[in-house]
Amino acid sequence: MARAEWGFNGRGKWCSYKRTTLIICTINIGVALYVLRSLYTSLYTYPYNDSQNAGFTYTPDQIRKMEELIRIRKASEPIELVKLVKKIKKELSSEERVFELPQHLKQKITDEILERLRRLNANANISEQQEAVENWRKEKLKEAKHLTRGKTLNSSILPEEAGMLARALKSNWAKLSEEIGLWMPVEIINEEHDDKPEGAEEFEEEILPGRRLPPECHTELHTDYDGSAVRWGLTHHKESAYECCQACLGHARGAKPGEKKCNIWVYCPSETGCYSPDIYEHKLGECWLKYAEKPRLNFKDQYSESYRNSHPNAPLIVPWVSGVVSS
């Protein structure tokens, strides 16, 4: 084996290639172990590094504390409460969902309500009308529930329609009433001092909100009469049907010779406005004063199915209130 000789002050030391190679290998192994340890540390701390501070590494003690905090946070989460809140939200959303009824079922509902109202006396007041409609709703709801439970009844409702009808009558009755055009006047009860003189004549029962309409107004609910306008309703608003009727009577009394005298009044009592086939938007309080030599009905009680097919925005029930007075 070849040898190399180094000399210093006359003394010599021999070093073989084998020993040199061993030293170099040892150094290389040390460097490799250091590099591997650095890579392992950087990979272990990567999930906890901020994206903007990628060069920063946490100590093992900091990592342990963060893991402990994450475990505590997960353990303290109100899992049952979260589940309960999600369940309540789901129930509320299902209740708020509007169940759209087919047109033929809406028509059937409208016919039955109108038939129930026609059975009342001609002098039935608002409370009696409201009670009749509410009794019908309860009876129909009970009938629909029986059908959904599989009970056989002599009913005009199809079993497959019973479920959606029950939901509409129970949770979405107000929405359904609006869709079919059912408007029931609200009875206003005012407490007044009983200072009327003895023997004074009692007024008739209220028909519409506001003051009682006298017999000469000939008030008809869910009715729209045709005629030439002597006062344009879009710019002529009144607080109640009573005031609209009085406006018509006053116009007739004050008309000059040869002028058309109002003998028809048409009033919109609905808070959501009243439908009309023209291009205008008719709002609560509109009071149309009209004249016709021979008053003729435009619509009565409800719009026909053929009319609604050609006018999709039309409700089922006529929302207007009218009266034909003596000119």
Tens of pLDDT, residue by residue, the chain (327 residues):
344 444 444 444 444 666 677 777 777 777 767 766 665 555 444 444 444 444 557 788 888 888 887 887 777 777 777 777 777 777 666 554 545 677 888 888 888 888 888 888 877 777 888 888 888 888 888 888 888 787 766 677 777 777 777 787 877 777 777 777 776 665 555 555 455 445 444 433 435 777 888 889 998 999 999 888 889 989 999 999 999 999 999 888 888 888 889 999 999 998 888 998 888 889 999 999 999 988 898 899 888 888 888 888 888 889 999 999 976
Residue 58 is predicted with a pLDDT of 75
Nearest-angstrom CA–CA distance, 201 and 109: 40
The pLDDT value recorded for residue 123 is 76
Could you tell me the pTM of the whole model? Answer: 0.39
Give the pLDDT score at 10: 43
Q: How far apart are CA 277 and CA 131, in angstroms?
A: 32
CA within 13 Å, CB half, 146:
12
Looking at residue 4, its pLDDT comes to 42
Q: How far apart are CA 291 and CA 228, in angstroms?
A: 5
Residue with tokens 């018509």, as numbered in its chain: 248
| Spatial separation of the C-alpha atoms in residues 223 and 64, rounded to whole Å | 81
Q: Which domains, and CATH codes, for the chain?
A: 103-180 (no CATH), 215-324 (3.50.4.10)
Helix pair 173-180, 103-118: axis angle to 10 deg: 90
* H-only helix segments in the chain: 17-45, 60-75, 79-96, 103-118, 126-148, 159-171, 173-180, 241-254, 305-310
What burial letters (b/e) apply to 298-308, b meaning 16+ CB within 10 Å? ebebbbeeeeb
Tell me what pLDDT residue 286 has: 94
